[in-house]
Each structure stands twice: as structure tokens, then as C-alpha cells.
């Protein structure tokens, strides 16, 4: 009996040692808690069915609010006709991973994925955030072979201002400038007396100006990617 107990404890210890960080394991926790989103997403997919998209935006509320929040006018101007919005408020890296793997987005054929995620993971270490994002990028590439990925750096916010720079330092090496491109626009969101430029009063989400700043930097990179010769 004692030997069995020791064996069980050893096995549990080994499993714990080999388990990856929580950020790398797909979780449906946020999706299941967002019942209105489940209804919305089904309607959104039906609405967009048959349309051709060359972009998919994946992320949390900062991405979602392109569609209905402060970013809506900018979205309509630059992306409505060519992009699929796959953002969900409160998503962590592991939640976006679950949605990508389980919701009906396989029928799309985007050329570029714009990935803005990690703000809700500020309780995790920069290394664990990066590990999760790496898995998420791999899932994007598996679902859409040949796709280019624009990985956005984490923006400043009240939630993780001290972790922004070290987190972005961990994310940057994930880029190879061939199929994965890192775009850090955090310096554009300069710190004022009581807030950052481009952030709303909650010091987390973006204002219309913030979305304009994002679009300007993103569009320049997208044009560069489109103009680059195909890799042989």
C-alpha cells in the first residue's frame, strides 16, 4: 500500500513538472460565461457567410470594440469590407485558443491574422504569456496554412503597466519577419498626467484616437507585407 502511494505521488509530481503553463492550455471558461456573445457570434457568422476576407482580427475586448465601440468608425473605414472580427471581451490567451479551435472559423481564408492578446493575462509571467501566444500562433497557422501573422505588442494600461515592457520583450522574438511580424505601437500611447494618449477614462480600452493610431501603424505594415515578394 505504501509503495502504491509513493508511486501515485511520484506520478502526480511528474505530471505537474511536465505540465505547461495555464496560458498554453485551451479553455472555454470565458466563452461559456458569455451567453450573449454565443448568440451574437452565430448571427455574425451567418451575416458574413459567403464574403471574402483577407484579414482576421483575434483578441479580447480591445479587438472586439473595433466592431461596436470607439473603434467602429475606424473599422468601417478600413476593415469592414475585408476583415473578420474574432475578438471577445475578457479573453485571455488560453480563451482565444479555445475559440479558434472550436468555433466555426475554418471556412474563412484570411491571408493575414492580426493578433492582439495578453492584456487580461497580466497576472501571469511574461514568459508564460509568450508561451501561450506561441501556441496560439501555431494554432492560427495550422487552421490557415500559409497565413501571415501580425503579432501586436501589449499596450499600456492600468492593469499591467509594469509588465508591458518585459512582456513585449518576450513576444518580440516570436517574430521571424517572414510569416510572423511583431508590431509594438506602445510608444505611440505616451503617458500624460493622468492617462495615456489614446486610452479611454478606464485606462484600459482605446478611444477613437487610439484606434486611429493602431490603424495607421497596422496599415503601413500590411502594405509592406502585401508588397513583399513571395518566399520560395
pLDDT at position 160 over 80: no
In which band, very low, low, confident or very high, does the pLDDT at 112 lie, cut at 50, 70 and 90?
Answer: very high
Q: What are the C-alpha distances in Å from 73 to residues 15, 35, 90, 184, 220?
A: 49, 26, 22, 23, 19
Per-residue pLDDT tens digits for 47-64: 888 888 999 999 999 999
- Centroid of chain to Cα 222: 17
pLDDT value for 19: 59
Cα dihedral: 44, 49, 51, 57 (round 10): 40
Which three cell numbers mark 9?
505521488
CA distance 22 to 56: 25
Per-residue pLDDT tens digits for 12-40: 443 444 458 999 999 999 999 999 999 98
CA distance 203 to 225: 32
For 210, residues 6+ apart whose C-beta sits below 8 A from its C-beta are 70, 71, 189, 197, 198, 199, 200
- Please, what is the average pLDDT of the chain? 90
Q: Which of 96-110, 152-166, 192-206, 214-228 has the highest mean pLDDT?
A: 214-228
How many beta carbons lie within 10 A of that of residue 229, not counting itself? 5
Q: Is the CB of residue 86 less than 8 Å from the CB of residue 63? A: yes
pTM comes to 0.89
CATH code: domain 22-227 is 3.40.50.1110
Annotated domain spans of the chain: 22-227
- pLDDT mean over 187-212: 90
Amino acid at each position: 500500500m505504501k509503495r502504491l502511494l509513493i508511486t501515485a505521488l511520484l506520478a502526480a509530481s511528474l505530471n505537474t513538472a511536465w505540465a505547461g503553463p495555464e496560458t498554453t492550455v485551451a479553455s472555454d471558461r470565458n466563452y461559456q460565461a458569455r451567453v450573449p456573445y454565443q448568440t451574437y457570434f452565430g448571427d455574425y457568422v451567418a451575416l458574413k457567410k459567403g464574403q471574402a476576407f483577407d484579414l482576421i482580427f483575434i483578441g479580447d475586448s480591445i479587438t472586439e470594440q473595433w466592431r461596436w465601440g470607439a473603434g467602429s468608425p475606424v473599422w468601417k473605414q478600413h476593415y469592414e469590407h475585408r476583415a473578420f472580427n474574432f475578438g471577445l471581451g475578457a479573453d485571455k490567451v488560453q480563451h482565444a485558443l479555445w475559440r479558434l479551435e472550436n468555433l466555426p472559423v475554418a471556412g474563412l481564408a484570411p491571408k493575414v491574422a492580426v493578433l492582439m492578446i495578453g492584456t487580461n493575462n497580466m497576472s501571469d509571467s511574461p514568459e508564460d504569456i509568450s508561451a501561450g501566444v506561441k501556441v496560439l500562433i501555431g494554432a492560427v497557422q495550422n487552421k490557415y496554412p500559409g497565413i501571415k501573422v501580425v503579432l501586436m505588442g501589449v499596450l499600456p494600461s492600468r492593469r499591467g503597466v509594469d509588465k508591458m515592457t518585459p512582456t513585449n520583450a518576450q513576444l518580440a522574438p516570436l517574430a521571424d519577419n517572414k510569416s510572423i511580424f511583431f508590431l509594438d505601437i506602445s510608444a505611440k500611447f505616451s503617458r500624460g498626467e493622468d492617462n495615456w494618449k489614446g486610452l479611454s477614462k478606464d485606462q484600459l480600452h482605446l478611444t477613437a484616437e487610439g484606434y486611429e493610431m493602431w490603424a495607421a501603424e497596422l496599415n503601413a505594415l500590411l502594405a509592406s507585407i502585401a508588397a513583399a515578394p513571395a518566399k520560395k
